[in-house]
Chain A
C-alpha cells in the first residue's frame, strides 16, 4: 500500500548522480568522436574528404595564391567519414567537444598548400604536393603532362595524336 515511500531509501542508496559541470570534468568515453584535426605535413590537398563530407564542413578553395583546405567546425557533424576516406590518413578524430568561441573566425581552421600554375594557360589548379606524390607513384610517362591543367592536358594529348597521324 505504501510501496511508493520506498523511493526515499532508493534515492539515499544511489546518492547524487549529477556533476557540477563546468567545475568538474564530464564523463567522456574513449570512443567519443569530437572535432577533427588535419595534419598539414601529411595532407596533399586531394579533396577526397570534401567530397564525402555530408554537411560540407570541409572545403577546398583557392585563395591568395595558395590552395586552402578549410574546416568549419560550425557545420561539422563529427561523423568521422573524412578520417575514414583520407588516403594519406592525415585526419585524426579528437575528443574535443568544448568548441564554443566568441569569434566566428576561431571556428575556421585552414591548411595551406602551395599551388601549381598550369604551364600553358596559367590557371591554378592543384597542390604541388599532390602532383609530386602522383609523379612518384606513376613515374616516367607523366612527366610532360604533370604540370598542365586537365583542359590543357586534353589539348596536348589531342595535338600529339594528330601529329603522329
Chain B
C-alpha cells in the first residue's frame, strides 16, 4: 500500500500501544485500522492529554450512545485519527445513569466543543465547567427530555413536543397556523442560518452565529427504519452531497459486520462519488461568482455543470438523489455504452472548465476581492481539526481518500491538493484543481473497472457491533459511526464537514471588511442542511454565550460604532 508513510514513525505507534496497554483498563482491541480502548472517566483527561501530544493526531468525531439496556451505561465514543498510520483511535467511556457527569476536555482539544454541547442536549450528559444551555434543541423544548435516549420513540417525541405557535393558535382557535420567519433569510445565504456581524464602519469586529434551524432529527429517525431503508434517508441529509452520506452509512455497516463488498460495486461507488465532487465544486464556483457580483460567471459555471447533472441522471436514474446504495453494494450497473458516454462528457467538461476559469479569474474585481481576504492561518486550521478544501487551502494536507482509503481508492494514488496562502483565492484554486483531479481519477476508474457482481447475495445482521465509515465529501470529511441492532441501526451518528468547518468563520472574518463577509462565509462551502448547531463567540473576551432565538428575532440587529 502506501509504503512511504508507514516506514517513518512506526515506533511512535508502538509507544502508543504500550501506553494504552499499561493503563488500569481492559487491554485495547487492535484491528487493521482501528484501536479501541475502554477507560474510566477519571482517566479521561490524562489519556486525552497523552493523545493530543502525538504527532499528526486529529479529532474526527465524538458520539454519545444510550446503551443502558445492553450494558447498563451511557457511553461516549471519542474517535481520533492518526492520518499517517491510517488508524482510528476510539476511546470508549462508560457513564452511569445516576451520575452522568464527565470532565470536559475542551481546553485540551479545542475541536470537541460542539460535540460536547450536542451530547449535553440530546443525551443529557453533563460536562463539568459547561453551562447547560440549549444548543441543538429549540428554546421551548420541554425540560429534561433528551431525545436520543432510548426512553423515547419517534412517535412519543412527536406527541410530546408541540411548538408554542401551534399551542397558541389552538388557544385562540385560529384556523390555519402561519409561521413567519424573522431573521434567518438573506440573499447571501442559501440556507437558513443567522450570522450577526458587528461592524464598525465597514470593518467586522465581532461575529455571532445562530443555526440549527433545519435540524430534522435524522439520527433518531434512522433508528426506526430498517437497514436497507436508511440509505435513502441518509441521501437526503444534504442536497448537494447526498451520495456521500449514503456511501458512508453503508461503509459503516459493512465495517461493523465485516461484509465484503464486490470490487465492481466499489468502483461504481467511487465513480459516482467523483462525479458528485465535480458538480459540487462547479456549483460552488458559480455561487462564489454570484456573491462577488459577477453574474455572468455564475450562469456559465452552472451551464457547464448541467452536463454533469445529465450524466449523473443517465448513470443512476436521478439528477441528485441517486438512490444507488444498499448495504453490500449498489443497485444499478454501468454498461459499456454508459462508460463511453461518460468519457465523452468528461472530455467536454474538462475543456470548457479550463477555458472558462481562465476568463473568469481574470476579471479584475474577482481577482482583487478573492486575494488576501478571509485569511486562515495554518496553526488554527490544525488546532480546530478542520477538513476539506478549507484546510487544504491553508497548507494542511488532509484527505480521507489517502489517509483512510475506502472503496476503489485503495487501488489508486490520490495526492491531496494544497495551497499555502490560506485566503479565499487559495481555497477557490484548490477546488478548481480538484475538478481536474477528479476527471483524471474518473478516467482511471472507468478504464480499470473489473467484472463481477454489483452487490453481495445476502448478509446477516448481528446486533451491537461498532463500525466507522468515512468518505471525502466535496466539503471535507464525512464520518458515520454505527452501532448495529437486530433489524435497524441501534445508534447512528452523522458528522458532516461543515460542522467542523464553521468554527473557522470567526477567525476568517476578524478584521475583514463587511463586503468580504459573504464570500468568506461561502468559501468554506457551508452546507447547513448537513450541520446545524448554535454558538455565540465573542472574539475579544473569549467568552462563549448562548442567545435564545426569540431574543434575536425580536430585537433584530444592533450596530456598534
Contacts and interface: CB of A to CB of B under 8 A. Distances in A.
Contacts of B176: none
A31 B313 contact: yes
A79 B225 CA distance: 16
Interface string A5-36: 01100110010010000000001111111000
Chain A interface SS verdict (over half): loop
A4 B363 contact: yes
A25 to B, nearest CB: 14
B316 interface: yes
Contact of B313 (A11, A14, A29, A81): A29
Highest count of chain B CB atoms <10 Å: which of A27, A28, A33, A79: A79
A10 B355 contact: yes
Given A4-B359, A79-B232, A81-B228, A31 B315 contact: yes
Contact of B314 (A7, A31, A53, A78): A31
A32 B313 contact: yes
- Centre residue among B228, B317, B358 by max chain A CB count within 10 A: B317
Given A3-B362, A6-B359, A17-B303, A77 B317 contact: no
Contacts of A53: 229
B225 A80 contact: no
Contact of A78 (B310, B318, B331, B363): B318
Interface string B287-314: 0000000001000100100100010011
Contacts of A79: 232, 323
Interface residues of B, number: 30
A79 B332 CA distance: 12
B446 interface: no
Interface in B351-375: 355-356, 358-360, 362-364
Nearest to A93: B317
Given A6-B359, A80-B323, A27 B310 contact: yes
Interface residues of A, number: 25
A7 B317 contact: no
Contact of A32 (B317, B355, B360, B364): B317
Nearest to B318: A33
B460 to A, nearest CB: 18
A3 B358 contact: yes
A16 B360 CA distance: 19
A62 interface: no
A10 B321 CA distance: 32
A31 B321 CA distance: 14
B229 to A, nearest CB: 4
A16 B68 CA distance: 62
A48 interface: no
Contact of A10 (B232, B318, B331, B359): B359
A40 interface: no
Contacts of B360: 4, 7
Contacts of A32: 313, 317-318
A142 interface: no
Nearest to B315: A31
Contact of B303 (A14, A52, A54): A14
Given A14-B303, A32-B313, A54-B229, A7 B296 contact: yes
B441 interface: no
A97 to B, nearest CB: 10
Contacts of A114: none
Interface in B327-342: 331-332
Nearest to B362: A3
B323 A17 contact: no
A86 to B, nearest CB: 14
A39 interface: no
B233 interface: yes
B300 A52 contact: no
Nearest to B321: A77
A10 B317 contact: no
B359 A52 contact: no
Interface in B213-236: 225-226, 228-229, 232-233, 236
A84 B233 CA distance: 18
Nearest to A77: B232
Contacts of B364: 4
Contacts of B310: 27, 29
Nearest to B233: A54
Contacts of B315: 31
Contacts of B331: 80, 84
Interface string A108-138: 0000000000000000000000000000000
A29 B314 contact: yes
Contacts of A78: 318, 323
A24 to B, nearest CB: 16
A81 B321 CA distance: 14
Nearest to B313: A29
Nearest to B311: A29
B373 to A, nearest CB: 20
Interface in A45-86: 52-55, 77-81, 84
A54 B317 contact: no
Interface centre among B225, B315, B323, B331 (most CB of A within 10 A): B323
5 contacts: A3-B358, A28-B313, A29-B313, A54-B232, A79-B232
Given A28-B313, A31-B332, 10 more contacts: A3-B359, A3-B362, A4-B363, A10-B355, A17-B303, A31-B313, A52-B226, A52-B229, A77-B232, A81-B229
Interface of A: 3-4, 6-7, 10-11, 14, 17, 27-33, 52-55, 77-81, 84
